[in-house]
A = this chain, B = another copy of it.
Amino acid sequence: MKVTLSWTLRAVSLAALMTAGAAIAQDKEPVSPLPAPKAVNPAAAELGKKLFFDPRLSKSGFISCNSCHNLSMGGSDNLKTSIGHNWQQGPINSPTVLNSNLNLAQFWDGRAKDLKEQAGGPIANPGEMAFTHELAIETLRSIPGYVAEFKQVFKTDKLTIDEVTRAIAAFEETLVTPNSRFDQWLDGDKTALTKDELAGYKLFKDSGCVACHNGPNFGGNSFQKMGVVQAYKTASTAQGRVDVTGKDADRLNFKVPTLRNIELTYPYFHDGAAETMTQAVDLMGRLQLGREFTTDENVKIVAFLKTLTGQQPQIALPILPPSSDKTPKPRPFN
């Protein structure tokens, strides 16, 4: 009887293994495929898309969320550090907005707890969009097309920064990039990666990269010190997590960036100092792991990293509702 039961259980387990091959494969890995995007109200996301592309949320009328989180370019601006109002040089590299809902917090130092909180930041940052929430709201309230759409989405006449940032966050939650070649491999398609790419993935795991870059977003789920084994030399004045916690131990601790779509989100690091994936892999090895990757190892890791490019969001460019005669005029030059 005992033997029979054991065999029965074995048979059941085997069947489970066979039908759930993909799940089993990913269970063994320290990373996982992207989850499906959180279900959001499509009307809120559509409104949020308009706001994301609308430069009238800036003092100049020239800078929108999409200026620095460009959805044509991996949700980043591909600049070392960003350009703000009056061509100010930003202090930090623009992180991608893609899959950002998976991050434990927003901004490099995690000072915003979620996308909604983040969305209000750049609008009012004097070095970025240089507006105020009050003027942004006055602007939106003067635009009949927006007034009607906010009412339709939120079922209220209230149009405040709360509704604005909720809508932008709803849009951003849709910005998920599934089905990278690596995800296909994780899901069981063993032909999705080449031998070199797989060798790169093995190096990525065996060398310790995966200690920080793990989970569904290959990062974004912890703060880590930049420069663990060797101190990081940079002209950047960004201090990282210490600015939020006040704890000296958090100096130069930054949110670990996602590696998804890394091929599109150059340059790298919080200061944008690594121009290429080759440089980033080399420096990460030295600074964080105390390891010098050989050229061959570096090439393989980079080949693996390029398999993390997912399907980019299909965005129909929004047509923005026109200003009215009462809309405050943009002030780019004063």
Interface set of A (CB-CB < 8 Å, partner B) = 53-56, 60-62, 67, 70-74, 77-79, 83, 86-87, 89, 263-264, 266, 275-276, 278, 312, 314-320, 322-323, 325, 329-330, 332-333
Given the known inter-chain contacts A315-B317, A325-B278, please indicate yes or no for A78 contacting B61, CB distance below 8 A: yes
Within the complex, the shortest CB–CB distance from A139 to chain B, in Å, comes to: 12
| B317 contacts A79, C-beta separation under 8 Å | no
Query: Knowing that A87-B87, A276-B325, A317-B317 are A-B contacts, what are 16 other residue pairs whose CB atoms are under 8 Å apart, sorted by A's residue number?
Result: A53-B72, A54-B72, A55-B70, A56-B78, A62-B67, A62-B77, A62-B83, A72-B319, A73-B320, A78-B323, A79-B332, A83-B332, A87-B332, A275-B325, A312-B319, A314-B316
Could you say which of A77, A87, A89, A330 has the most chain B C-beta atoms within 10 Å of its C-beta? A87
Complex Cα spacing A78 to B62, Å: 9
Complex Cα spacing A230 to B98, Å: 55
Copies of the protein in its oligomer: 2
Within the complex, the shortest CB–CB distance from A67 to chain B, in Å, comes to: 7
Given the known inter-chain contacts A314-B316, A317-B317, A322-B264, please indicate yes or no for A62 contacting B79, CB distance below 8 A: yes
Name 8 A/B residue pairs within 8 A (Cβ), A-sorted.
A53-B72, A55-B70, A61-B78, A71-B317, A72-B320, A73-B322, A266-B323, A314-B316
Given the known inter-chain contacts A263-B322, A318-B72, please indicate yes or no for A83 contacting B60, CB distance below 8 A: yes
Given the known inter-chain contacts A60-B83, A317-B316, A325-B276, please indicate yes or no for A333 contacting B89, CB distance below 8 A: yes
Within the complex, the shortest CB–CB distance from A312 to chain B, in Å, comes to: 5
Complex Cα spacing A108 to B52, Å: 31
Residues in B whose Cβ lies below 8 Å from that of A314: 316-317
| A322 contacts B83, C-beta separation under 8 Å | no
Complex Cα spacing A54 to B264, Å: 14
Of chain B, the residue at the smallest CB distance from A276 is B325
Complex Cα spacing A77 to B320, Å: 12
Residues in B whose Cβ lies below 8 Å from that of A86: 87
Within the complex, the shortest CB–CB distance from A264 to chain B, in Å, comes to: 5
Residues in B whose Cβ lies below 8 Å from that of A316: 314-317
Could you say which of A62, A263, A275, A329 has the most chain B C-beta atoms within 10 Å of its C-beta? A62
Complex Cα spacing A70 to B329, Å: 17
Residues in B whose Cβ lies below 8 Å from that of A61: 77-79
Complex Cα spacing A122 to B197, Å: 42
Of chain B, the residue at the smallest CB distance from A78 is B61
| A79 contacts B315, C-beta separation under 8 Å | no
Within the complex, the shortest CB–CB distance from A148 to chain B, in Å, comes to: 16
Residues in B whose Cβ lies below 8 Å from that of A87: 86-87, 332
Of chain B, the residue at the smallest CB distance from A332 is B83
Could you say which of A78, A275, A315 has the most chain B C-beta atoms within 10 Å of its C-beta? A78
Within the complex, the shortest CB–CB distance from A238 to chain B, in Å, comes to: 17
Residues in B whose Cβ lies below 8 Å from that of A322: 73-74, 263-264, 266
Of chain B, the residue at the smallest CB distance from A77 is B62
Given the known inter-chain contacts A323-B266, A325-B276, please indicate yes or no for A317 contacting B78, CB distance below 8 A: no
